[in-house]
Amino acid sequence: MCQSTQVTFSILEILRIASAKTVGDILSTTKNPEIKRNWTSGQSATVQAQKRLNRLVIKGKLDKGWGFYKLRSCKSKYTPHTKMLSGCGGVILKTPWKVTFCREKFVPGLGKERDLKGRRPDAMVSLTANNLHAIFILECVLNERESSILAKRQDWASWPHAKEYLSELFQIPVEHYAFIAVKSVQEFEHQMEVICSQLLKKTSKS
């Protein structure tokens, strides 16, 4: 497998399901040191990503659907919510920080106050720069009621093992974390600008 195809596959390993446009946009504009930047932005990047994604389908590494590609182990359907979450993941992967993106991982015990055995947040994210970290829970709340969003936020706020769980998950001491609920990728891009600005200020002082 050539290097550009391997990098393309590594992005799908993180996002699990995404369009060629999302993958091409990452590869053409990323500042992430762990992802080699390829091509230029726009239609060319989408076409180039599609070529490599199709190769991975032929090799049996990915499945192809109408407008998307996914890992063969991925059971998700490409709904508007899924598309939005992949788009937000793409925004994260374009940052200059080391990224850990845990997508829809089941968290036992979360939501116990609501008599739930656990919950599956959309994503748990760690950004790392110079041994400094920004940790946050991401929920894509497309068309969700405010009461549902508040309940998800409260699940984390009321769970006494939240910091312990996140520390074990990311293998770092987690003293603080944020809960971010967004209704669009554009709204999340604004949130990421704030997070990255704060992390940059911390690294400049360290």
Whether the predicted pLDDT of 181 surpasses 90:
yes
Q: What is the pLDDT of residue 105?
A: 95
37-85 residue pLDDT tens: 665 555 688 888 999 999 999 999 999 999 999 999 999 999 999 999 9
21-50 residue pLDDT tens: 999 999 888 888 777 666 555 568 888 899
Distance CA 144, CA 150 (A): 10
Q: What number is the average pLDDT over the span 175-195? A: 94
Lowest mean pLDDT segment, chosen from 8-17, 132-141, 190-199: 190-199
Share of the chain above pLDDT 90, in %: 69
Q: What is the pLDDT of residue 102?
A: 97
Strand partners for 68: 65
Task: Say what the pTM is.
Answer: 0.90
Positive or negative: CA dihedral 87, 100, 77, 4: positive
Dihedral pair phi/psi, residue 188, rounded to 5°: -65, -35
- The confidence band for 197, taking pLDDT boundaries of 50, 70 and 90, is confident
- The confidence band for 132, taking pLDDT boundaries of 50, 70 and 90, is confident
Distance CA 197, CA 26 (A): 20
Distance CA 157, CA 136 (A): 13
Domains of the chain and any CATH numbers: 1-74 (1.10.10.10), 79-206 (3.40.1350)
Distance CA 107, CA 11 (A): 23
Q: What is the pLDDT of residue 38?
A: 60
Whether the predicted pLDDT of 206 surpasses 60:
no
